[in-house]
Structure 1
Amino acid sequence: MTDTSVRDRLIGDRRVGPGQPVYITAEIGLNHNGEVSTALALIDVALAAGVDAVKFQKRTPEVCTPRDQWDIERDTPWGRMRYIDYRHRVEFGAEEYRIIDEYCRDKGIDWFASPWDVASVDFLDGFGVPAHKIASACLTDDELLRSIRASGRTAILSTGMSTPAQIRHAVEVLGSGNVILCHATSTYPAANDELNLRMMNTLMTEYPNVPVGYSGHERGLQTTVAAAALGACFIERHITLDRTMWGSDQAASLEPAGLTRLVRDVRVISEALGDGVKRLYDGEYAAMRKLRRVPGVVADRDTTRVA
């Protein structure tokens, strides 16, 4: 049996990699719409479903919003406002994340976030998060990647909207020793014929020492379960209380019942995949004695029991 432990990565006290249970992350993102109570309710949904972690997004609005977009007015649930004011309205600060951090610690669930700028990396490091998730949109931001590498935390890199050359460059900047790659398609929601799940196999071949996962933005559950069957060691899906809520990510998110079914099915797949080593299980010996007319060649110690 090939030892794959060198490929594992740590997220908190959990090993993530081939042969390990799939690490499932519920992406809350900005689906809390700036309300801590909604964020806590979504954490409860994630806990009830049995995920391993919840994830948020963290931005410095003035850094991450193009200057020519600041003053464009937008209709929102809180009235018509400038886009920069809207970005502040839905962004959590230190007080909100203190509440989230204490809540997750009390409930025993990991949380981390996607920092979109260097200041946000430093902000999240202050909470001792177990990993940093790099959004596909940030894959080409070398300054951000270098900051995340310097943090020493596991970097989970989504590869949507990116070319193979851009992915290779990002892995070089981050260093391959502490990275998890996530195949992703950055449309919201993503059509099934654009998911290209076999790209996971391509990443596994090109980066043989890097664990590969899947960040899904599609509707439904089947294709994410298929990603687990193809060997994804990390899975992330957006979650929501109600897909009709305000926000660009809501339509591609899972509601509570869907998340529960997804976690159930991925856990079954993860357990069923096994390690690829052929062996005879105890329950097979009774069937063998009953059904096999010719014992066959005694090839190893296991089969001597029925020779």
Structure 2
Amino acid sequence: MSEVVTIGSNQIGQGRPVYVIAEIGLNHNGSVETALQLIDVAANAGCQAVKFQKRTPAISTPEHMKDTPRETPWGTMTYLDYRYKVEFEKEEYDQIAAYCHAKGMDWFASPWDEPSVDFLEDRDAMAYKIASASVTDLSMLAKIRETGKPVILSTGMSTIEQVDAAVETLGLDNLIILHATSTYPLPPEEANLRMIPTLMERYGVPTGYSGHEPGLQISLAAVALGACVVERHITLDRTMWGSDHAASLEPQGLDHLVRDIRIIETGLGDGVKRVFPGEQAPLSKLRRVGA
């Protein structure tokens, strides 16, 4: 069991700075230029990491979806053709890796199938993020464990028994667990933030929150409840075409999120009762009866 997990130069766990992941996912819409702009947004806001998604569309696309028509900015195409249209390959990921290195940013991705794990290993990704949709793909999880890299496990759309099975497959070393609810956008009544301390107690590993709500309040409350990782989708503009943009943060929202996380983690303190220097003047002025 790892109470602290290291990704790049960042230590993740209780008492460490909250590790903020900007989820780019597919919000680049197949454009590496947009992806680099989003990396800039994340770096300027003070995030420590950006995250992408990697698929082998012929494998990861459900059979019943492959031939479904999809309206896109490039015209009507099958869902499978759309998946290929927005998928980054070696050249794009090499650009992304080099750009993140120059910015001092960690980068990694969620693989959606086993060949994508091999692809990311060839790119020397720093860590692996397991999407909520992949919690039950135990064969892929076992393959990820074999890499020895840190793993971040999202737990949306899953029962606690399914999460238990995923954790047993991955092991507790180098594992981070994120509470998540996979509703886009997330209504407050489905956030269930009290799962954060529940997961902490159950597994004893660094625990965080992956949010899909439109605002900031729930993510900030997660930090107050002890989340040591916060992941949010980001976009250049929520009105852009694509399924994740509406539940994403625009640049100003991301700036405010990171700013407020840093204020909250400073304000949480250490739980030791003491008289602070700023209290000395009010103490001498207002307290009539001494101890």
Smaller-chain TM-score range? over 0.9
* 2:73 alignment counterpart: 77
- Offset of residue 286 of structure 1: 4.1
- Offset of residue 187 of structure 1: 0.9
**1:251 maps to 2:254:** no
In 1, Cα distance between the equivalents of 2:4 and 2:279?
32
Q: Are the equivalent residues in 2 in contact too, given 1:243–1:250 (CA < 8 A)?
A: yes
In 2, Cα distance between the equivalents of 1:19 and 1:75?
47
Equivalent residue in structure 2 for 1:206, among 194, 202, 205: 202
TM-score after normalising by structure 2 = 0.96
In 1, Cα distance between the equivalents of 2:273 and 2:54?
46
Instruction: Provide the secondary structure at the position in 2 that maps to 1:7.
Output: coil
Instruction: Provide the secondary structure at the position in 1 that maps to 2:29.
Output: coil
* 2:106 alignment counterpart: 110
Instruction: Provide the secondary structure at the position in 1 that maps to 2:173.
Output: helix
Give deviations 1:2-42, integer Å, cap 9, x for gaps. xxx95111111111111111000000000000000100111
* 1:11 alignment counterpart: 7
**1:68 maps to 2:64:** yes
Unpaired runs of 5+ residues, structure 2, are none
Q: Are the equivalent residues in 1 in contact too, given 2:2–2:175 (CA < 8 A)?
A: no
* 2:19 alignment counterpart: 23
**1:266 maps to 2:261:** yes
In 2, Cα distance between the equivalents of 1:101 and 1:168?
33
Unpaired runs of 5+ residues, structure 1, are 297-307
* 2:237 alignment counterpart: 242
Equivalent residue in structure 2 for 1:220, among 215, 218, 224: 215
In 2, Cα distance between the equivalents of 1:176 and 1:225?
26
The one-letter code matched in structure 2 to 1:181 is: I
Give deviations 1:187-234, integer Å, cap 9, x for gaps. 111111111111112112212x21110000111111111111111000
Task: Please give the residue correspondences for 1:1-307 in structure 2 after superposition, counting only pairs within 5 Å.
Answer: 7-207=3-203, 209-296=204-291
In 1, Cα distance between the equivalents of 2:46 and 2:265?
14
In 2, Cα distance between the equivalents of 1:162 and 1:242?
30
Q: Are the equivalent residues in 2 in contact too, given 1:19–1:274 (CA < 8 A)?
A: no
Aligned residues: 291
- Offset of residue 247 of structure 1: 0.9
TM-score after normalising by structure 1 = 0.91
In 2, Cα distance between the equivalents of 1:214 and 1:258?
17
Give deviations 1:269-302, integer Å, cap 9, x for gaps. 1111122122333333444344333332xxxxxx
In 2, Cα distance between the equivalents of 1:188 and 1:123?
28
Q: 1:229 to 1:64 in 2, by over 3 A?
A: same
Give deviations 1:88-145, integer Å, cap 9, x for gaps. 0000000000111111111111111111111111211222222110000000001111
The one-letter code matched in structure 2 to 1:282 is: P
Larger Rg: 1
